[in-house]
A and B are shown apart, each in its own frame.
Chain A
C-alpha cells in the first residue's frame, strides 16, 4: 500500500510539467525539473493510478535538494510570530521565552524527525521572494504546505494583500499547494473580537481572491496562539493533509473505536505532540488538550523513573519469572467521573491515546488485544 502511494508524485510532476508549458516565462524552470525527473526516472516507478493525487507524499522521486522531506514554509509579515511558532512547536521552547527571540535574518531550516520527516523553513518577514534574483522554483518546488502567519493584534491589511499576491502568483505555477492561514496571537483578544477578526480576515482574503478570478481557493484558516494548545492543533491539521496514509489511519482508528467503545482516539507523535490522525467522530479541543497533557505527564514520569538500572537489579530477579511480555509502554488513568484515559506506545515515534467512558470498564483485555491488532496494521502502513 505504501509503495503504490510512492509512485504518485511521478505522475503529478508529469502533470505539473505540461501546466508550466502553458504558463510561459517558466520554461527554464520547467525543463530543469523535467531533466531532473528524467534523470531519476529509473528510481521512480511507473505511475499506476490514473487518479489525480490528493496528497503530497513523503518522498518525491526527483527531490535532490530536500532529501524528500515534505516542506512546511512559514511566511508572513515581520514580527507576526513565525519564529516563535517554530521554536515552541519544534524546539519545545516555553512560550514566555519567545519574547527574547531575535528577528530572523535568513531562512531558518529545521527538520522534524518522526514517523515521516518534515522540514520547516522559517522565512524572514521582510524577504521579497518574488524578486527575480530569487530561486522561486527552489523554494516552492517541493513544498508541502505554505503556512501564512497573520498577527491578529496588528493591522492585518498589508499581510492580507501580500498573502493574496503570493497565492495568485503561486496558483499559476504550483496549483496544488496547500495554503494554511494562521490567524495568530488570538490569546490577546476578547472572545467576541476574536471571532470578528477571524471572520473579517477570511472574508477579505476570499473576496479578493474571487475578484481576481480565483474561486474556491484551497486556503484553510486557523486561530492560533502559542500560549495554549491551539498552535499544536493547527499544526496537526496541516500535517495531516501531508500524510498520504491518512484515510487508512482514520478508518483503522474508527474501527478500533467502534469495537472497543472508545469515545475518541488520537494517534500522537510523542515528541512534537502533534496528532497525525484521529478517529472521525467530532470532538472539541478539550479532548486534544487532555491527551496532550497526558503525554506530558507520562514523559515526565518516565524521565524520573526510566533511568538505567544497574545490571544487579536484573540478576536479583528469579530466572524467567518476570518475563516482560510487552516492551511498549502503556498507561491507564481512572478518572473521578467514571471515564478512562488510555495510552499505548505504538512505535518509536507514535502513541495511541484513547478517551473512554465507563461502559468500557472491565474490557481491558479486549482493548489490549484490539490495540495490538491496530499496532500490527500500522506497522504495515508505515514501514519505518
Chain B
C-alpha cells in the first residue's frame, strides 16, 4: 500500500515565459481564485512547489517555475538534474501576445532537450494561453500555426496542445485532459461508472474532483451522446465553480470548503443531481424526467458510495453529517455493515424523496 502511494505521486512542471500566466491558471484551478483575482498575483520567484491532493492517493507535485530569463538559465544549467528528473508531465505555457515568439521557441527547445535527457517518458502539454486577447475569428488559425511551430521543435515528444484563456471554460478543458492522463486505475473506475449508469438508466454520469471541479471521467448513454452541447463538461466545471464562490460569499465558509452537499434540479425535460460520492469526488447524474427514475438513481448512487470508496483511487467514503466541522455521528452507526451504512447515509440525507 505504501509503495502504491509513492508510485502515484506525479511531478508536474509548469513552465513558460515570465508573465505568460502560469501562476494565474494554477491559482484558478487549484486555489479557487476567480479570474479577476489573478491580477493581484506577483511574479513567481524561482520555483513554487505545491502539493495538490487529487483524488485520494494521487498527489500532484506541482512545480510552478518562475519564467524570468535568469531563473530559466538556472534550471537549465546548475539545477538541470534536480528540476528535470522524474517528471511526469511538463506543461509549457505560451503567451499568444508574446512579441518575441522566436526567442520563446529557443527556450522551449532547450527545456524539451533537458527533459529528453532526464525523463524521456514524460508527457508534454502546450497551452497557447491568453486566447481571449485574439479576435474570435482568428483564434483557430493562429492556434494551428503556433501548434505546428511548437511541434517541429519538440525533440520527438508527442505533444498535445490547447488554446486556453482564464476568462472562459477552455482552461478547464485543457486541465481536465491533462489530469485524465495521470489517473491510475482509470479503466476500473470507468467500469464501475458504466455499470452504475446502466443500473439507473442515466443519460449521463460525470465524476468531478472535489476542490477543482475538474472532470475526472464520464459515461454517456446513447441518448445522452446526442446532446448538442459538446463543451458541456468544461462549461459545467466553470458554472459550478463560479457558483461555489458565490455560495462562499453567502455562507461565509472558506472558498476551499465543499460549500454544498447536494444539488438537485427537476424539470420537464431532464432531472439532474450532483452529490458527494467520496471524500474527493462529486458525481453528477442526469436522468430522464420522472420522479421515480430520479429517486431510484439517487438511492443507487448513494448506495454505490462504498464501492467507489474501496477503489484505491477515489479515497475514503465521505463522512456523514454535513456540518462544516464534519460533525461525526456516533461510532455505533459506523460499525454497521456496508450496505446498512449506505442506507443510513441515505436516511440522514433524506430531503429530496417524498415520504
* A329-B354 in contact (CB<8A): no
Chain A residues whose CB sits within 8 angstroms of the CB of B293 once the complex forms: 322
Chain A residues whose CB sits within 8 angstroms of the CB of B257 once the complex forms: 336
* B253-A331 in contact (CB<8A): no
CA distance A171 to B319 in the complex (A): 65
Chain B residues whose CB sits within 8 angstroms of the CB of A42 once the complex forms: none
Chain B residues whose CB sits within 8 angstroms of the CB of A303 once the complex forms: 229
Majority secondary structure of chain A interface residues (helix, strand, loop or mixed): mixed
**Chain A min CB distance to B297 (Å):** 12
Residues of B48-102 at the interface with A, using a CB-CB cut-off of 8 Å, are: none
Query: Which of A290, A327, A332 is the one whose CB lies under 8 Å from B352?
Result: A332
Q: A313 in the interface, Cβ–Cβ < 8 Å?
A: yes
Chain B residues whose CB sits within 8 angstroms of the CB of A324 once the complex forms: 268, 289-290
Q: A331-B264, A334-B262 are in contact. List 13 more A-B contacts (CB 8 A).
A: A289-B246, A289-B249, A290-B249, A301-B272, A305-B227, A307-B227, A322-B293, A323-B290, A331-B263, A337-B253, A337-B324, A338-B323, A365-B354
Residues of B229-260 at the interface with A, using a CB-CB cut-off of 8 Å, are: 229, 232, 235-236, 239-240, 242-243, 246-247, 249-251, 253, 257-260
Which chain B residue has the least Cβ–Cβ distance from A297? Answer: B243
* A327-B259 in contact (CB<8A): no
Chain B residues whose CB sits within 8 angstroms of the CB of A286 once the complex forms: 249-250
Which chain B residue has the least Cβ–Cβ distance from A361? Answer: B351
CA distance A304 to B284 in the complex (A): 13
Chain B residues whose CB sits within 8 angstroms of the CB of A290 once the complex forms: 246-247, 249-250
* B250-A289 in contact (CB<8A): yes
CA distance A187 to B109 in the complex (A): 46
Q: A64 in the interface, Cβ–Cβ < 8 Å?
A: no
| Most chain B beta carbons < 10 A, residue from A312, A330, A332, A336 | A336
CA distance A305 to B205 in the complex (A): 12
Task: Flag B267-298 by CB within 8 Å of A: 1 or 0 each.
Answer: 11110100000000000001011111100000
Chain B residues whose CB sits within 8 angstroms of the CB of A327 once the complex forms: 268
Task: Flag A309-336 by CB within 8 Å of B: 1 or 0 each.
Answer: 1101100010001111111111111111
16 contacts between A and B (CB under 8 A): A289-B249, A290-B250, A293-B243, A297-B240, A301-B236, A302-B269, A304-B227, A304-B232, A305-B270, A309-B223, A309-B226, A310-B223, A321-B290, A332-B262, A336-B261, A364-B354
* A364-B352 in contact (CB<8A): yes
**Chain A min CB distance to B130 (Å):** 16
* B262-A333 in contact (CB<8A): yes
Q: B135 in the interface, Cβ–Cβ < 8 Å?
A: no
Chain A residues whose CB sits within 8 angstroms of the CB of B267 once the complex forms: 302, 306, 329-330
* B351-A322 in contact (CB<8A): no
Q: A330-B266, A336-B259, A362-B350 are in contact. Are A310 and B250 (CB under 8 A)?
A: no
CA distance A328 to B269 in the complex (A): 10
Query: Which of B223, B243, B266, B322 is the one whose CB lies under 8 Å from A329?
Result: B266
Q: A376 in the interface, Cβ–Cβ < 8 Å?
A: no
Chain B residues whose CB sits within 8 angstroms of the CB of A266 once the complex forms: none
Which chain A residue has the least Cβ–Cβ distance from B261? Answer: A334
Interface size (A, Cβ < 8 Å)? 47
* A335-B268 in contact (CB<8A): no
* A332-B264 in contact (CB<8A): yes
Q: B330 in the interface, Cβ–Cβ < 8 Å?
A: no
Interface size (B, Cβ < 8 Å)? 50
Q: B332 in the interface, Cβ–Cβ < 8 Å?
A: no
Q: A359 in the interface, Cβ–Cβ < 8 Å?
A: no
Q: A300 in the interface, Cβ–Cβ < 8 Å?
A: yes
CA distance A88 to B288 in the complex (A): 35
CA distance A76 to B272 in the complex (A): 46
Q: B349 in the interface, Cβ–Cβ < 8 Å?
A: yes
Chain A residues whose CB sits within 8 angstroms of the CB of B236 once the complex forms: 301, 304
Which chain A residue has the least Cβ–Cβ distance from B250? Answer: A290
Q: A377 in the interface, Cβ–Cβ < 8 Å?
A: no
Chain B residues whose CB sits within 8 angstroms of the CB of A312 once the complex forms: 223
CA distance A332 to B269 in the complex (A): 17
Q: A340 in the interface, Cβ–Cβ < 8 Å?
A: yes
* B349-A336 in contact (CB<8A): no
Q: B265 in the interface, Cβ–Cβ < 8 Å?
A: yes
Q: B228 in the interface, Cβ–Cβ < 8 Å?
A: yes
* A313-B268 in contact (CB<8A): no
| Most chain B beta carbons < 10 A, residue from A301, A312, A331 | A301
Q: A105 in the interface, Cβ–Cβ < 8 Å?
A: no
Q: A298 in the interface, Cβ–Cβ < 8 Å?
A: yes
Q: A321-B292, A335-B260, A336-B258 are in contact. Are A329 and B249 (CB under 8 A)?
A: no
Q: Closest 5 CB pairs between A and B?
A: A322-B290, A293-B246, A329-B267, A290-B250, A331-B265
Which chain A residue has the least Cβ–Cβ distance from B275? Answer: A334
CA distance A301 to B285 in the complex (A): 12
Residues of B291-314 at the interface with A, using a CB-CB cut-off of 8 Å, are: 291-293
CA distance A142 to B286 in the complex (A): 49
* A322-B228 in contact (CB<8A): no
Chain B residues whose CB sits within 8 angstroms of the CB of A298 once the complex forms: 265
Task: Flag A272-309 by CB within 8 Å of B: 1 or 0 each.
Answer: 00000000000000110110011011101111111101
Chain B residues whose CB sits within 8 angstroms of the CB of A306 once the complex forms: 267, 269-270
Residues of B305-355 at the interface with A, using a CB-CB cut-off of 8 Å, are: 322-324, 349-352, 354-355
Task: Flag A356-375 by CB within 8 Å of B: 1 or 0 each.
Answer: 00000110110010000000
CA distance A303 to B236 in the complex (A): 11
CA distance A361 to B323 in the complex (A): 14
* A334-B322 in contact (CB<8A): yes
